[in-house]
């Protein structure tokens, strides 16, 4: 869900000439199941990243400017909720589980440190998209 959510945010920040994209346009551009579309958009709206407007000229849009949206916040919002139970933390006596859980925590901290200051505007700029020239979508996450 995180990868698709970031793609949604990039699309909203640089490809919506009027600032809004309809759900139909997302479905056409991204080959995802209806559940993924709905769940991702609901989560982004719940956390205040996007808003929606019904009716003519409606659709989804950014709730705040791209330079005020941190990528680390987006990833945190979009991560699938996966509770760490005792077995996963290694408290059940498995050294391997404890080791993997610890390594995962180190990796998460490193990613958060690397992305703590990167904004959505920075990400869009780094992929080289120019709204003026309507460059094609060529980005990888």
Give DSSP secondary structure letters for 44-56: HHHTTSEEEE-ST
SS3 of residue 123 by DSSP: helix
- Give the separation between CA 83 and CA 109, rounded to whole angstroms: 17
- Rounded mean pLDDT of 7-24? 77
Residue 7's pLDDT is what? 85
* Per-residue pLDDT tens digits for 24-50: 777 676 666 666 777 888 899 999 999
* 31-57: b (≥16 Cβ within 10 Å) or e: ebeeeebebbbebbeeeebbeeeeeee
Domains defined along the chain, listed by start: 2-81+118-126 (1.10.10.10)
Residue 48's φ and ψ, nearest 5 degrees, are: 80, 20
Q: Give residue 81's pLDDT.
A: 53
Give 58-86 pLDDT, tens digit per residue.
888 899 999 999 998 888 888 765 545 54
Q: Residue 14: which pLDDT band, with cuts at 50, 70 and 90?
A: confident
Cα separation, 103 vs 125, in Å, equals: 32
């Amino acid at each position: 869900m995180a990868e698709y959510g970031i793609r949604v945010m990039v699309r909203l920040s640089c490809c919506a000439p009027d600032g809004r994209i309809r759900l139909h346009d997302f479905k056409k551009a991204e080959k995802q199941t209806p559940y993924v579309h709905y769940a991702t958009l609901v989560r982004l709206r719940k956390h205040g990243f996007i808003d929606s407007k019904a009716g003519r000229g409606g659709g989804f849009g950014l709730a705040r400017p791209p330079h005020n949206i941190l990528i680390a916040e987006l990833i945190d919002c979009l991560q699938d909720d996966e509770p760490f139970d005792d077995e996963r933390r290694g408290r059940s006596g498995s050294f391997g589980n404890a080791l993997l859980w610890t390594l995962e925590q180190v990796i998460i901290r490193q990613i958060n440190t690397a992305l703590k200051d990167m904004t959505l505007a920075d990400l869009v700029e780094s992929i080289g998209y120019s709204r003026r020239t309507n460059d094609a979508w060529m980005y990888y996450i």
